[in-house]
Chains A and B, each alone.
Chain A
């Protein structure tokens, strides 16, 4: 596609439910980043992939968060046993180099 696509755009989950958020990067982009943006705050780094390799997961807040990119294209961010503090916008960005990052529209997760 022309840009980074994320789905779903909105997700409401009950506390304790597992969720999966999808990111379709720009075709051919090697680098893929996940960020978490709490209400009123700037985004914060979660994890980074170079092709299928997860080179940095230092930003994942707990072991309930898991990300994968098995074929070096589409990536999924999974959150297990969701908690209220997980409510945020989850942004995906892709890049063909280490410079300009192209962002998706984000997935707004609300945990009730």
Chain B
């Protein structure tokens, strides 16, 4: 069983829609990362959070440590938001090695 599970695997939305991507993890963590990967491979770190909620522009990330669950929300989605969104947690006892979910491929249609 993957230690980090994401849903949905694929998501298609119309421009302007509110989007939610979910991440569940089975290990104790100190923090959780949300990353964005565009075609071609490059990964950008969006958020690192250990409690509560963080907001950056149209992106909002929340985490519930007790339930071992995090969500990434995109408000007023735009075609340029199309990418793969990946949830990752550091391996406990490691130097920060990340365990990644398989990613959610988001496609926003104009």
Contact = CB atoms under 8 A, between A and B. Distances in A.
Interface of A: 31, 33, 35, 37, 40-45, 48, 50, 55-56, 59, 89, 91, 93, 95, 98-106, 108
A41 B101 CA distance: 8
Interface of B: 4, 31, 33, 35, 40-45, 48, 86, 88, 90-91, 94-103
Contact of A56 (B33, B40, B41, B94): B94
Contacts, number: 69
A99 B96 contact: yes
B103 A42 contact: yes
11 contacts: A33-B97, A37-B41, A42-B88, A42-B102, A42-B103, A43-B86, A45-B94, A48-B94, A99-B31, A103-B42, A106-B40
Given A91-B41, A103-B43, A103-B44, 8 more contacts: A33-B97, A48-B97, A100-B48, A101-B45, A101-B98, A102-B45, A104-B42, A105-B42
